[in-house]
Structures are given as structure tokens and as C-alpha cells.
Amino acid sequence: MANKRIGATPHNGGCFFRVWAPNSSRVRVFLQQPLPPGNEWRPDGFIQKVNLGNDGNGYWEADVSGVEVGDLYRFEITNGANVYERLDAAARDVLHSGLTSPGTGENASIVVSPAFDWSSFRTPWFDDWIIYKFHVGSFAGRNDGISVKDGIATFAQVESKLGYIAEMGFSAIELLPVQEFAMERSWGYNPSAFFAPESAYGAPHRLRHLVEQAHRRGLAVVFDAVYNHIGDDDKLLKDYDGDTTGGGIYFRDGGSTRDFGPRPAWWQREVRDYFEQNARMHFDEYNADGLRFDLTGEMDGGPLAEVVGNLRRDYPDKYIVAENHPASRWVTTFGNFCASWQAESHHEAQRAFNGDSPVDRISGILGWGEHDHHWNLVKYLAGCHDDIGDQHHGDAEHGNSNWDKRHRYLVDLFGGRHNFYARAKARLAWALNIAMPGTPLLFMGTESHMGAPEVAWGYWHDGSDNNGDHRFDWSIAGDETAIPMRRLVAAANRVRWDNPALRSNTLIITQPDRDNGVLAFKRWSGGNVVLAVVNLSDTNFTNHGYGVRTDGQFGRWTQILCTQDAAFGGWDGAGNAFHDPETQPDGMIYINLPQWSVVMVRLV
């Protein structure tokens, strides 16, 4: 990795500029001060034009005096007879995406100070993550009294939602990509300027403030990093120094992803350095606790493993996760990642809850397979943005005709938030996610039964489409249907924190009862032993008549969670309150086991 920081690095008295442009014959930096009210690049507004020097390795650099934080700049790159003006490929901030944008004026890079007064915060150990994932732009501004511009929330506005997340017992938040993307409304997976925060969300200091406020509430912060492709529009890196071969220096011989456009040329040392510096920026300048690499299967494995290995060496306490399909052992061994997303955790759970070989499907996603640790897998049984979000008016992957591919909140897949069985299955999904090995992740809205009819077709989107507004709806997040689910989420999370067994590398399936659709498994840590019993059927087992094998664990047990209790939306007497069963001579305990539930008991 190059020793010098790329981009613009301000210091007392000036700023150091460094840019990769190996095919250039000359590079200059053009500087100007922003003037209100336009705060845009003015072709006649130069205060300095300074030549950068070639270091002999394709990088151009100069230390320029008199530059101040907040100054605007562009690079002028000369390649033969052609002269181009470019944004800084590693600009820490830009006015907007694209060199020009209708109605916003000409674009420019902005000199940004990395300084921030951070408070003390310790990144959680890898056993201690429960993640809440949300999209900044759609997480505020709908029925909450917050006025958002063009329907897009900002970093500052979503800060008010952090208490909502922390009160449910999550230990981390994960943000859909917040790097500058094409246009202003997006899920974020169409990156334009990799080092700059999305201008519609706010400036770098606002993003830092959001991270700081999260930390003060005990929430770690994970950023989504999209290093496998660029967006279809506003291609900042394309043909960057005038060489157009294969898309230019950042893409030459990099190939193309299956569905998402050009793939960066990770085989080049300078491209690897570019993305490694970007990853380091999240830790060094934004105090991040983790990174999720988007679709690592679309990237070159060897170079990717090298970069992640460097990051793990220098940031050993940071949780670095790959979205890899499938979640292979390669990811956490040769690939050097801490963990891999397990997409099958959602798909198999959805099929199981629909009655398709439920015990076998849940058994198949229960453990951590070939991986060394349970936290090597991130699991999201109720779905995440790809499973719940829809950009095709509700028909993504032909979901209207193919239920198995349908993109909806889990509660909506089984009848909607006003359907008793649908709510029970949603509660079951999260409690099971908490009880099983792996890092649990919940996508925004799941905790309040977002779904039809209030949310218009029951899928998430970052704005309105043919079926209405799909942003997070705060008018129903606290209604009489949502509150019991939120109680369940908080109670399940508390059970995980109170029982180290549920954060350990332990698992024994004690009872695969296929005839009754029941699965029981045991986890332990020292003297803390938890038995989880999952009823994946319509049958209610009453009068403490269902026998559960304990794998030879004798003693008295007490219930620590029943997802069908009245407080969570079930009924009084559903579970085992005031009933602490003893292991019988046949090696079983006998309990109430309500339909579509998770019951957890702890050895006393």
C-alpha cells in the first residue's frame, strides 16, 4: 500500500494534494473559495492554479500553501492534446454527484478536515453484536413531524431515531451505503464518489456527528462499502486521466459484473490501494466499528483477500463482513473476513414458515457449518433490504407471480400485520434469530410489523412508487399492532444479553420432531444452559403436555421467553409462567408449547 494519503490532506498553512493519473503529462489543481449563496464551482473564480509534481509512479502531488478547509478544488489533467477537469477521485466531500448536475450548478471537490472530538467507545467483541439496519434517506420524515427536503432524510434528522433503536437492546446499527451516489434518492448501491458522503444526507461532519451520537447510546456503527462496481450514472472514475482503454485506469481489464456494470480492476496495485485507503478512511476518519463489503463474489478473490488481510491486521477489533453468496468457508479463512452474510437464513426460514419441510429447513441454517465461530455468519431470518425492498412496483424478481421470490416484509408474506398468524411468525423469526448461533440482524420496520395495508403493499422502498409511499411510517411504528412486536424484539434481545450461552460456540439439536413440526436445541456457556423449543406448526400443545429432550441435562428449568405471551400479541397462559419443569427420569421436560412460537427455558 502507498505510504501517502490520496486526496486532499489539510494542515496548518496549507494542504497536500495527491492523485493517481499515470497517463497524464501535466496535472494542476485549481482552487477557489466558496461564495454564498450558490456554493458552486465558478469557471472564473480561481484563486490558485498550482502544478502537481509526478512522483515517478503515476501519482501527482503537491503541498499548496494558503489552502483552507472548505475551499473548492478540481484537478486539470492533460493527456496529449486533451485537457480534462476532474473531481478528486478521493475527495472527502463534493457538492453533488457528477461533474455537472441540472439545477445545482457545476460540481467541485471540497477540502475537508478529518478532525473530530470523539468520545471513548469500545467496538463490541464479535460475540456481542445485534444489528439494526436502516436506510438514512427513508428512516425519518414520514408521519413523525420532521420536515425533509424532497422526501429525503439527512444524517442530522435520523439522529433522533437512535434512542428508538437503542431502547430495543441492539448493540449496532448498519447503514445502507452513504457514499455519494448518482442523483439524490437511491438505496446507495450506485456509487459515484467513494470517499464523500452523500450530499443529500449531509456533510462529513454531520456523518461523524451521527456516528458519535450512536456511540454515546452504546451503538456500534457499520458502513456498507460498495467496491465491486460503479453506478450507471455519474461515473467519476471512468476514463479518469484521459486513457479510455477498457473504461480507463480504474477499470482496465477489470471485466463486468453480471448485473451491476463495470468492475474495478482489483488486479492493479493502485486500485487495491484506492479501495484499501477508502476502507481505512471509515475507521480513521469516521470511527467506524465495522464494514460490510457488498457482493464480494463479483470481486477478484486474491487481491480482495490481501486488502482485507491488511485491514484485519491493523484493525483487529473491527467487524468486517462479506456479502458472499453462498456463505462459504473461503470468506472467513483465505478471504480474511470476520463473517459472511447468510442469505439462505432468510430464504429457508420463509419456506419453513410456509410449511415446506420446516424442521429440516430450520435445522439446515441453525449452526455455523464449516466456519470456526458462530459469529462468522450474519443471519437475518426476517429478511433484509434485498428481501424486503422492491424497486419494481412490488414485482421484483416476478414476485407477484412467484411467492418464493416475493420482496415483502415477512409479516406481509403471510397475510399482513392484521393477521394473527403472520404476526406470530414474525415474532418467531426474530426470537429464533436471537436464539440460534450467528450474528442477528433486523431490517428497519420489521420490529413494528410494517406491512400492508398501511405501508402500501408491504415492501420497503426509499420513496413513492405506483403503490404509494414506502418509507418508514412512524404513524404505525407506535400503534397497538406495533408495540407488542417491539416488546418482543426488546425482550428477545435482553434474553441474549442475559444469557452468554446464546453468544457462544455451542449447539446440540436435542429434538427434531418432524411429525409435529417441532425443533429443540440446546446452547450453553459454563453453568448457563438454555433450551430453545420452536413450534413450526398450527398445533397448540397445552396442559404442560409436550415433552422436550434435554440431552441428558437434569435439573429444574424456568421460562425466559415465550413469543406467544399476551404482552407480545399472543394470549394469557400460552407459555409456562409459574411452571418450572424438572427433568424427568425419561430425560424430558414437559411444557406448554403454543403454535408458531419459540419457547426458551434456562437451567436454574
- Answer yes or no: is 479 within a domain: no
Q: Is the pLDDT of residue 440 over 70?
A: yes
What is the band of 117 on the pLDDT scale with cuts at 50, 70, 90? very high
Looking at the structure, do residues 80 and 153 belong to the same domain, yes or no?
no
What is the band of 23 on the pLDDT scale with cuts at 50, 70, 90?
very high
- Residue spans of alpha helices (H) in 389-467: 410-413, 420-435
pLDDT at 1: 41
How does pLDDT run across 463-482, given as a tens digit for each residue? 999 999 999 999 999 999 99
* Residues whose CB falls within 8 Å of the CB of residue 345, separated by 6 or more in sequence, listed in order: 365, 377, 379, 380, 381, 433, 438
What's the confidence (pLDDT) of residue 202? 97
Question: Distance between CA 106 and CA 42 in Å, rounded?
Answer: 7
Q: Which helix (H) or strand (E) holds 435?
A: helix 420-435
Residues 156 and 85 in one domain: no
Same domain, 132 and 106: no
Report DSSP state, residue 279. Answer: H
Give the CA distances from residue 46 to residues 28, 42, 164, 426, 516, in Å, rounded to whole numbers and listed in that order.
Answer: 12, 8, 47, 59, 76
Pull the grid cell for residue 393: 412496483
pLDDT tops 50 at residue 169: yes
Q: Specify the pairing of strand 179-181 against strand 468-469.
A: unpaired
How are beta strands 109-110 and 72-79 bridged, if at all? antiparallel
Nearest to 334 by CA among 280, 371, 295, 367: 371
Strand-pair partners of 588: 549
Q: Is residue 93 part of a domain?
A: yes
Q: Are residues 284 and 316 in the same domain?
A: yes
DSSP letter for each residue of 170-211: --EEEESP-EEESSS-S-S-SEEEEEEE-TTT--HHHHHHHH
Q: How far is C-alpha 321 from the geometric centre of its chain's CA atoms? A: 9
Task: Calculate what percentage of the chain has a pLDDT beyond 70.
Answer: 98
Domain termination residue (choose one: 342, 360, 379): 342
pTM above 0.85, yes or no: yes
Residue 577 falls inside a structural domain: yes
Distance between terminal CA atoms of the chain? Answer: 54
CATH number at residue 53: 2.60.40.10
* CB of 599 closer than 8 Å to CB of 561: yes
Beta bridge partners of 521: 509, 532
- Report the CATH number at residue 180: 3.20.20.80
User: Does a structural domain hold residue 440?
Assistant: no
Q: Does residue 420 fall inside a structural domain?
A: no
Mean pLDDT rounded to a whole number for the chain: 95
One domain for residues 179 and 103: no
Residue 92 near residue 112 (C-beta atoms within 8 A): yes
Query: Does one domain contain both 64 and 20?
Result: yes
What is the pLDDT, as a whole number, of residue 46? 85
pLDDT tens by residue, 200-216: 999 999 999 999 999 99
Is residue 593 in some structural domain? yes
Structural domain count of the chain: 3
* pLDDT average, residue stretch 95-123: 85
Crossing angle for the helix pair 204-216 and 269-286, to the nearest 10 degrees: 60
Q: State which H helix or E strand residue 30 sits in.
A: strand 26-32
Q: How far is CA 34 from the centre of its chain?
A: 34
Does residue 245 surpass a pLDDT of 60?
A: yes
Q: Characterize the bridge pairing of strands 597-603 and 557-562.
A: antiparallel
- For cell 411504528, the residue is 477
What is the rounded CA–CA span in Å between residue 531 and residue 521? 6
Structural domain range at position 177: 127-162+170-207+220-342
Q: Are 531 and 550 in contact (CB under 8 A)?
A: yes
The mean-pLDDT minimum among 146-155, 257-266, 498-507 falls in 257-266
In this structure, the number of other CB atoms found within 10 A of the CB of residue 582 comes to: 11
Cis peptide before 326 (omega within 30 of 0): yes
Angle, CA of 344, 349 and 351, to the nearest 5°: 100
Mean pLDDT of 166-186: 96
Tell me: do 197 and 318 sit in the same domain.
yes
The predicted pLDDT at position 100 comes to: 58
Same domain, yes or no: 196 and 102: no
Cβ–Cβ under 8 Å, residues 601 and 557: yes
Where does a domain end: 342, 360, 383? 342
Q: What are 510-548's pLDDT values in tens digits?
A: 999 999 999 999 999 999 999 999 999 999 999 999 999
The CA–CA distances, whole Å, from 300 to 239, 305, 307, 487 equal 21, 9, 11, 44
Residue 396, number of CB atoms within 10 A of its CB: 18
Mean pLDDT of 135-147: 98
Helix, strand, coil: what percent of the chain each, to 5?
A: 25, 25, 50
Grid look-up 450506485 returns: 190
Do 150 and 93 belong to one domain? Answer: no
In this structure, are strands 597-603 and 528-535 parallel, antiparallel, or unpaired? antiparallel
Q: Is 533 left (phi over 0), alpha (psi -120 to 50) or beta?
A: beta
Whether 241 shows a pLDDT value over 80: the answer reads yes
- Map residue 110 onto helix, strand or coil: strand
Q: pLDDT tens digit string along 34-89?
A: 887 767 888 888 889 999 999 999 999 999 999 999 999 999 999 999 999 999 99
Q: Quick one: 14 and 88 in the same domain? A: yes
Domain containing residue 546: CATH number: 2.60.40.1180
Residue with cell 437451567: 603
153-157, 228-232, 359-363, 438-442: segment of lowest average pLDDT: 228-232
Q: Please state which of the ranges 46-60, 113-127, 389-403, 448-462 shows the lowest mean pLDDT.
A: 448-462
Computed on alpha carbons and rounded to an integer, the radius of gyration of the chain in Å comes to 26
| pLDDT score of 456 more than 90 | no
Q: Give every CB contact of residue 224 below 8 A, 6+ residues apart in sequence.
A: 174, 175, 176, 177, 178, 188, 291, 292, 294
Q: What stretches of 330-416 adopt beta strand conformation (E)? A: 339-342, 377-379
Single-letter amino acid code for the residue at 431: A
Question: Residue holding cell 487495491?
Answer: 272
- Residue spans of alpha helices (H) in 265-392: 269-286, 301-314, 329-332, 344-353, 358-366, 385-388
Q: Give me 543's grid cell.
A: 396442559
Confidence of residue 103 (pLDDT cuts 50, 70, 90): low
Residues of the chain with pLDDT > 90, as a percent, come to: 91
Span 153-157, average pLDDT = 98
Distances (CA, A) of 138 to 199, 223, 483, 573: 15, 17, 21, 39
CA dist 210 and 82 (Å) reads 42
Asked whether residue 387 is domain-assigned, the answer is: no
Instruction: Single out the residue in 342, 365, 390 at which a domain terminates.
Output: 342
Judged by DSSP in three states, 163 sits in: helix
Q: How many helices (H) and strands (E) does the chain have?
A: 13, 30
- Same domain? 103 vs 149: no
What confidence tens digit (pLDDT) does each residue in 373-429 have? 999 999 999 999 999 999 999 999 999 999 999 999 999 999 999 999 999 999 999
Same domain, 106 and 72: yes
